[in-house]
Chains A and B, each alone.
Chain A
Amino acid sequence: MNLAIRDIRFHRGRFILTSIGLGLLLGVVMSMGGIYRGLFADALAVLHSTKADLWVVQKDTNGPFAESSRIPEDIKYRIKSVPGVAEASPLSFQTIQIERQGKPFRFFLIGYDLRGIGGPPAILAGRNIRQKHYEMVVAKAMKMALGEKIRLGLHEYTVVGITGKVVSSSGDPAAYVSLADAQEIQFKKDNDAIRNNRERVAADLDRMQNLTQAQAQLLQRNVSDLTESTHTVNTVVARLAPGASLYEVQQRIERWNHYRAISDEGQTKILTKGMIEKARMQLGLFRIILLVISAVIISLIIYTSTLDKIRVIATLKLIGSQNRVIIGMILQQSLLMGVIAYAVGYALISLTYEKFPRRIVLEAFDLQVLFAIVVVICTVSSFVGIRKALKVEPAEALGG
């Protein structure tokens, strides 16, 4: 016969309510762990879906995610020619916020070379982009339908495919267009003043008459560069040939002076250490606070339930119960409460995590660690009750 369970059965209403309350608390603790893992997964989503070995960005920047980086698209040819590089592809990133159905609609637009790397990781519905212009693949989270049209810059784009969970490091869902389209959208988005200025310079140059043929041609090229300077990208990603030395390729690219070649690992570090470290610490702190609160609550509950049972404990001692019977009763109750609360928390979070606005990633390891922590908390919390119980004199069972 298990005394802990008998007592709980007798006071089941009170026990269930407390366990549910604690369960909500533990559910919040779990969700915070999940939010952190989600931040992590979000931060690394584009990185992981790109599967590049190297990210070539503007010198002295932590681009393209943590800091802005702008490099000429042409550099892809030079990178491709570095020994050991198998593939190199330019990528452009921008955050877009427009109105859709009367609400702000925010997403992360990725422009990629249709024959290169960095495109949508998997097509869940529809197809990949086939045409050079005005087609778009969107993340499922954007909740757009196939065939839906949306105006970006000067043109209408048609959704031709839906992809999975790709988001920017700030959690905005990703959409894909061809690099040329992305560059155009980017360019049109640029400040009007800058554009006007570019046009004015172009017009001025056009009006210069007394030029030689060669000068005119040179000028013409520069003018179009200045006025239509859309051929910049944020990064060029590269994949290495098997057996190539990452370090050597990196060194070689960085010797060109204007670029930084960040390894996948380096990029991961920038994204995690730099960008989400504070959020992680904050969530961690919250989790600790909540766990301390849980511990205090469990201690209090166990302590008061021990006080309620002083007479029972005295009677048990009187009839000769071993201490382990009494310690077992209190400890088991505490553990049972913890385990039930954990189960309640887990059920709660399992049912709701997909409805959170940002990604929640529940990792088995995190949940196991939390379980172990709950067990430790329950054990330690029961000590106050146990200490009290061990001090009870059997003679306290006597009298009215």
Chain B
Amino acid sequence: MYAIEVDNVTKIYGKGDTAVTAISHASFQVRPGELVAILGPSGSGKTTLLTAIGLINEPTHGRIIVDGVTVADDGWVPGLDLKRIRREKLGFIFQAHNLIPFLTALENVMVALEINKFPSGEAKGRAEQLLKSLNLGHRLGSYPMALSGGEAQRVAIARALANKPRVILADEPTAALDTENGKNVMALLKSLAVENHSAILVVTHDHRMVEGFDRIFEVRDGFIIRETRGAG
């Protein structure tokens, strides 16, 4: 079974003369444990595709299946609790600054667990363990503004992993980082895909960052123009 199935998905923003087709007839699948990149220049439709899979941007046509659940079929499948699917099956990582500024690193991870009905004590233990495994044991009580870019992104990764999601979606996770930190984050994602057996879909415009990915889809103007299999 695939973790993500995208079948002939099209997204058109707006109507009539001002309509913009951001994604056209995209089709692909991602298996659990796979690290997949969507590579393309700015404005090519990468974020649109990722957010459609992330259940926050309704596709106009086509079908999306996440972890066996058909979520979109020419628009959202009616009657689904999208929030619940998001918190149970998906983990999100974005550019920096997506941590909650008034929560410490530890609390930022805990919040994801607590909204998923983890009792507070258990959430704390799990969040701590997760942050320690990402070498952030010394940063548990720090607020996001006190963290470096790399540290903040690792906290965000810990938050995305907290609920052991089947699918992790990352939009330009290295955009705010220098090359070295960026490569570290990508390497971390790679190891997580293998360890946790999650499907990880990473959007980036930076071809230097996609080393070691299992597969790379290149997008131009809304079309997937090429699929490359990585060495890994």
By size class, the interface of chain B is 35 or more
Residues of B within 8 A of A319 (CB): 86-87, 92, 111-112, 115, 159
Residues of B within 8 A of A7 (CB): 102
Residues 323-344 of A at the B interface (beta carbon under 8 Å): 325
Residues of A within 8 A of B217 (CB): none
The reply to whether A10 and B101 contact each other, CB–CB distance below 8 Å, is yes
Residues of B within 8 A of A311 (CB): 97-98
Residues of B within 8 A of A9 (CB): 102
- Interface residue A104 (Cβ < 8 Å from any Cβ of B): no
User: A315-B100, A397-B98, A400-B95 known; 7 other A-B pairs, CB under 8 Å?
Assistant: A1-B103, A1-B111, A316-B115, A318-B56, A318-B92, A320-B87, A321-B87
Distance in Å from the Cβ of A102 to the closest Cβ of chain B? Answer: 60
A residues at B contact (CB < 8 Å): 1, 3, 6-7, 9-11, 311-312, 315-322, 325, 393-395, 397-400
Residues of A within 8 A of B171 (CB): 398
The reply to whether B102 and A395 contact each other, CB–CB distance below 8 Å, is no
How far does the alpha carbon of A315 sit from the alpha carbon of B103 in the complex, in Å? 13
How far does the alpha carbon of A315 sit from the alpha carbon of B86 in the complex, in Å? 12
Assuming A318-B86, A319-B87, A320-B87, is B115 touching A398 (CB within 8 A)? no
The reply to whether B87 and A312 contact each other, CB–CB distance below 8 Å, is no
- Interface residue B201 (Cβ < 8 Å from any Cβ of A): no
Partner of B111, one of A3, A11, A398: A3
The reply to whether A398 and B120 contact each other, CB–CB distance below 8 Å, is no
B residues at A contact (CB < 8 Å): 47, 51, 54, 56-57, 83-88, 90, 92, 94-95, 97-103, 107, 110-112, 114-116, 120, 123, 143, 159, 171, 175-176
How far does the alpha carbon of A3 sit from the alpha carbon of B85 in the complex, in Å? 22
How far does the alpha carbon of A261 sit from the alpha carbon of B143 in the complex, in Å? 77
Partner of B143, one of A1, A10, A321, A325: A10
The reply to whether B56 and A394 contact each other, CB–CB distance below 8 Å, is yes
Q: Which of B85, B97, B176 has the most CB of A within 10 A?
A: B97
How far does the alpha carbon of A3 sit from the alpha carbon of B112 in the complex, in Å? 12
The reply to whether A6 and B103 contact each other, CB–CB distance below 8 Å, is yes
Residues of B within 8 A of A400 (CB): 95, 97, 175-176
Residues of B within 8 A of A397 (CB): 92, 94, 98
Distance in Å from the Cβ of B204 to the closest Cβ of chain A? Answer: 14
How far does the alpha carbon of A245 sit from the alpha carbon of B11 in the complex, in Å? 91
- A-B contacts, 30 of them at CB < 8 A, read A1-B110, A6-B102, A6-B103, A10-B143, A311-B98, A315-B98, A316-B100, A317-B83, A318-B56, A318-B92, A319-B111, A319-B112, A319-B115, A320-B83, A320-B84, A320-B85, A320-B90, A320-B115, A321-B115, A322-B83, A393-B56, A394-B86, A395-B56, A395-B57, A397-B92, A397-B94, A399-B94, A399-B95, A400-B175, A400-B176
How far does the alpha carbon of A99 sit from the alpha carbon of B159 in the complex, in Å? 78
Distance in Å from the Cβ of A330 to the closest Cβ of chain B? Answer: 14
How far does the alpha carbon of A7 sit from the alpha carbon of B104 in the complex, in Å? 11
How far does the alpha carbon of A320 sit from the alpha carbon of B84 in the complex, in Å? 6
Residues of B within 8 A of A11 (CB): 102
Residues of B within 8 A of A1 (CB): 103, 107, 110-111, 114, 120, 123
Residues of A within 8 A of B102 (CB): 6-7, 9-11, 312
Residues of A within 8 A of B85 (CB): 320
Residues of B within 8 A of A318 (CB): 54, 56, 86, 92
Residues of A within 8 A of B99 (CB): 315
The reply to whether B51 and A395 contact each other, CB–CB distance below 8 Å, is yes
Residues of B within 8 A of A10 (CB): 101-102, 143
How far does the alpha carbon of A325 sit from the alpha carbon of B111 in the complex, in Å? 10
Which partner residue on chain A sits nearest B100 by CB separation?
A312
How far does the alpha carbon of A399 sit from the alpha carbon of B88 in the complex, in Å? 23
Distance in Å from the Cβ of A155 to the closest Cβ of chain B? Answer: 75
How far does the alpha carbon of A399 sit from the alpha carbon of B82 in the complex, in Å? 21
Which partner residue on chain B sits nearest A320 by CB separation?
B87
How far does the alpha carbon of A9 sit from the alpha carbon of B87 in the complex, in Å? 26
Residues of A within 8 A of B94 (CB): 397-399
Residues of B within 8 A of A394 (CB): 56, 86
The reply to whether A320 and B88 contact each other, CB–CB distance below 8 Å, is yes
Which partner residue on chain A sits nearest B107 by CB separation?
A1
Q: What 4 A-B pairs are tightest by C-beta distance, nearest first? A: A320-B87, A10-B102, A320-B86, A394-B56
Residues of A within 8 A of B95 (CB): 398-400
Which partner residue on chain A sits nearest B87 by CB separation?
A320
How far does the alpha carbon of A211 sit from the alpha carbon of B160 in the complex, in Å? 121
Distance in Å from the Cβ of B213 to the closest Cβ of chain A? Answer: 22
How far does the alpha carbon of A351 sit from the alpha carbon of B111 in the complex, in Å? 41
Residues of A within 8 A of B90 (CB): 320
How far does the alpha carbon of A10 sit from the alpha carbon of B143 in the complex, in Å? 9
How far does the alpha carbon of A268 sit from the alpha carbon of B87 in the complex, in Å? 66
Distance in Å from the Cβ of A209 to the closest Cβ of chain B? Answer: 105
Which partner residue on chain A sits nearest B123 by CB separation?
A1
Distance in Å from the Cβ of A322 to the closest Cβ of chain B? Answer: 7
Residues of B within 8 A of A322 (CB): 83, 115
How far does the alpha carbon of A1 sit from the alpha carbon of B122 in the complex, in Å? 12
How far does the alpha carbon of A312 sit from the alpha carbon of B102 in the complex, in Å? 9
Distance in Å from the Cβ of B175 to the closest Cβ of chain A? Answer: 8
Distance in Å from the Cβ of B161 to the closest Cβ of chain A? Answer: 12
How far does the alpha carbon of A39 sit from the alpha carbon of B110 in the complex, in Å? 55
Residues of B within 8 A of A6 (CB): 102-103, 107
